Structure 1
Amino acid sequence: MQDNRCATAEEVALLRERVARVEGGHDHLRDGLDTLSRQFSDLRRDLTQAVAENAARTRHEIMSRVDEMGRDAQSRDAEVSDRLARIEGGIRLANWATLACIALATGLLGWAQIGDAVWKVLLSLAGMSS
């Protein structure tokens, strides 16, 4: 059989002291975990905000560069169009000048042939009357 022994007041006081220390340590650990949890939440919030800001800044920079590239392309297109228009104008002028020269030469040749024919007729008439 086992003897049931009662704890002395000193033993009870010692036990209470140990329990109080364990409970105090538990409370301390819980406070530390709560603090860590808050710090982790703050860190997650700050990181999320920083990533969102960086993404927005990167999107803005990319869109600015795309807009700039678009403006550059439009400027080059306008410059090329202007050059092509000047070239077309020069070709039209050259075609007109060529056509005018051909028409003038054809007209002169026609009048020369008419003049030559009239001259021959006049010479033949002059030769007949002599």
Structure 2
Amino acid sequence: MQDVRCATAEEVAVLRERVARVEGGHDHLRDGLDSLSRQFSELRRDLTQAIDENAACTRQEIMSRVETIGRSTQQRDAEVSDRLARIEGGIRLANWLTVTVIAIATTLLSWARMGDSFWHMWAHILATHA
């Protein structure tokens, strides 16, 4: 059998000192991990906030550009509509003038033929009675 040996007071003191140092290191590591955990939480919060702010700015910028494009499109549509209205007005005027000229020419030709016919008829009547 083995002899049971008891530690001396000096050995117990050295052992307690080592345990205290290990516990102190453990407390220091725990404090460091807690500090890192807080820093990571703050970093995640700050990153999330920055991303949300950037997304809001980007969304606002996109909507502003969409509104600008919409306004310019409406302006171009209005300009094109005005041009088309002027062109249609010009075409209507040209058609009206063409129809009017044709009607006047036809009327004048008709009157000329009627006058010519009356002239020949009177000339024939006067020639037969003379």
TM-score in terms of structure 1 length: 0.95
Instruction: State the 1:59 CA deviation.
Output: 1.2
Instruction: State the 1:37 CA deviation.
Output: 0.1
Question: Structure 1: which 4+ aligned runs deviate by more than 6 Å?
Answer: none
Once residues 125 and 16 of structure 2 are traced to their aligned partners in structure 1, the CA distance between those partners, rounded to angstroms, is 160
Instruction: State the 1:33 CA deviation.
Output: 0.2
Once residues 10 and 121 of structure 1 are traced to their aligned partners in structure 2, the CA distance between those partners, rounded to angstroms, is 162
Once residues 72 and 2 of structure 2 are traced to their aligned partners in structure 1, the CA distance between those partners, rounded to angstroms, is 99
Once residues 67 and 22 of structure 1 are traced to their aligned partners in structure 2, the CA distance between those partners, rounded to angstroms, is 66
Which deviations, in whole Å up to 9, do the C-alpha atoms of 1:42-78 show, x marking residues without a partner? Answer: 0001011111111111111111111111111111111
Q: What is the CA RMSD across the aligned residues, in angstroms?
A: 1.1
Instruction: State the 1:121 CA deviation.
Output: 2.1
Tell me which amino acid in the other structure corresponds to 2:38: R
Once residues 113 and 125 of structure 1 are traced to their aligned partners in structure 2, the CA distance between those partners, rounded to angstroms, is 18
Once residues 88 and 5 of structure 2 are traced to their aligned partners in structure 1, the CA distance between those partners, rounded to angstroms, is 120
Superposed counterparts of 1:1-130, under 5 Å:
1-130=1-130
SS in 2 for 1:66: helix
Once residues 31 and 3 of structure 2 are traced to their aligned partners in structure 1, the CA distance between those partners, rounded to angstroms, is 43
Consecutive unaligned residues of structure 2, counting only runs of 5 or more, are: none
Instruction: State the 1:39 CA deviation.
Output: 0.1
Once the two structures are overlaid, the 10-residue window that deviates more, 34-43 or 63-72, is: 63-72
TM-score in terms of structure 2 length: 0.95
Question: Percent identity over the alignment?
Answer: 72
Once residues 24 and 47 of structure 1 are traced to their aligned partners in structure 2, the CA distance between those partners, rounded to angstroms, is 34
Tell me which amino acid in the other structure corresponds to 2:118: V
SS in 2 for 1:2: coil
Which deviations, in whole Å up to 9, do the C-alpha atoms of 1:17-40 show, x marking residues without a partner? Answer: 111101000000000000000000
Consecutive unaligned residues of structure 1, counting only runs of 5 or more, are: none
